[in-house]
Amino acid sequence: MNIHEYQAKQIFAKYGVPTPKGIMVESVPAAVKAAEELGGPVWVVKAQIHAGGRGLGGGVKLAKSLEEVRALSEEILGMTLVTHQTDAAGKLVQKLYIEDGADIKAEYYLSVVLDRKLEMPSIVASTEGGMNIEDVAENTPEKIIKVPVDPAIGFQGFHGRELAFGLGITDKAEQKNIINFAKKLFKVYTENDAEMIEINPLIRNGNGEFLALDGKMGFDNSALGRHPDIEAMRDLSEEDADEVEAAKYGLSYVALDGEIGCMVNGAGLAMGTMDTINHMGGTPANFLDVGGSANAETVAKGFEIILRNPNVKAIFVNIFGGIVRCDRIANGIIEATKLTDVNVPVIVRLDGTNAPEASEILKKANIANLIVGDDLADGAAKAVAAAKGN
């Protein structure tokens, strides 16, 4: 789960990680009032959407008077912001963050991410702040430093010194400030079960202090049960409506741009199914994992969500019956075709416990448009053929 910049900064503030002062607003009058309260003389008007690259897209602008705050808020609030991190349709801006303008002497990049190879969190930093970090990694990898921190020992002085020296910070007071900043940020990361924190740019001001000018946080969904305060920050308007609805039924759904709807159980089987469809010359329209809940109701809901995508020309159901027996899944699928109107061919391949019985049940049901696949390759080939109208 991701949160907004202003929410990340609220969490930072709780841990004493310095940020500029700011106020989140949802209307133009509230934006002007917030600017008055902050005092100025310079403000930044920032679109709050769950995507970066807002600056380049016109969603972050500097205001030098209350009149400018009003004009820029009018311009940005309600705009559809397209950045390199949104899709082509962009995101509607419904919230603004009005922030004190900072005195920027230097810009850095700082993040805490999980290093899967080292199996521990790593602090990643660069002097190339404000730039797209993927480009920095590609063109000048020597400008990126990584400081892995074993969570068993936590953030120690030597981690901090490695970071400060790596960033070329030589002033003693500044060294102390950056080390303190990183130490607190690491605490934010571990105590909240974050998956990543990214600050781009982190800035140094004229007093040698470091401030998070931007803030992005992502969390481990499996740990949200331990953090009701963070779960409460969830903004469903920033998430895909179909994915949110699917999750309510215990389904993991991700929309893709092909033409064969896929319904499977288990993420590994989903990957294998999509690869096989590609191998047979087709393209998957989605990823839908019904998990352990392959019953009539969830299958019907799955069909319904898959069929909202007008590109879907066929549905391939590829389910492995282990704990749930295949004959029960087959009956569930037949029931589901009665619960929801399925107007494309459905190819079903079931394997595992009671697979032959399941195959019999499906064939006997004699439902138009329901095709039985003998194995994965056969099912995928039939789905590809059906999607092509053969």
The CA distance from 331 to 334, in Å, is: 5
- Least CB distance to ligand GDP at residue 101 (A): 4
Residues that bind Mn ion (CB under 5 A): 200, 214
Ordered DSSP codes for 322-345: SSS-HHHHHHHHHHHHHHS---S-
What does 101 interact with, of ligand GDP, Mn ion, none (CB < 5 to 8 A by kind)? ligand GDP
Given the residues 198, 238, 259, 304, select the one marked as catalytic: 198
- Of 192 and 200, the one with the shorter C-beta distance to Mn ion is 200
Closer of 75 and 231 to ligand GDP (Cβ)? 75
Minimum CB–partner distance for residue 167 and Mn ion (Å):
18
Q: Which is nearer to ligand GDP, 9 or 301 (CB)?
A: 9
Binding interface with ligand GDP (CB under 6 A): 20, 44, 52-55, 60, 62, 101-102, 104, 130, 200-201, 213-214
Of all residues in this chain, which one has the CB nearest to Mn ion in the complex?
214
198 is catalytic: yes
In the structure encoding, which two tokens stand for residue 238, read together?
């920033």
* Chosen from ligand GDP, Mn ion, none, partner binding at 271 (C-beta under 5 to 8 Å by type): none
- Please say which residue, 162 or 214, places its beta carbon nearer to ligand GDP: 214
Q: Answer with the entry of Mn ion, ligand GDP, none that 327 interacts with (C-beta below 5 to 8 A by kind).
A: none
The token duo for 61 is 């602008």
Task: Output the smallest distance, CB 40 to ligand GDP, in A.
Answer: 12
The whole-angstrom separation of Cα 346 and Cα 349 is 10
Residue in 33, 41, 37 with CA at minimum distance from that of residue 62: 41
Return the closest-CA partner of residue 58 out of 86, 25, 19, 34: 86
Rg over alpha carbons for the chain, rounded to the nearest Å, is: 26
Burial of 389 (0-12, 13-18, 19+ CB in 10 A): exposed
Backbone phi and psi for residue 173, each to the nearest 5 degrees, phi listed first: -65, -40
Report the catalytic residues.
Answer: 109, 198
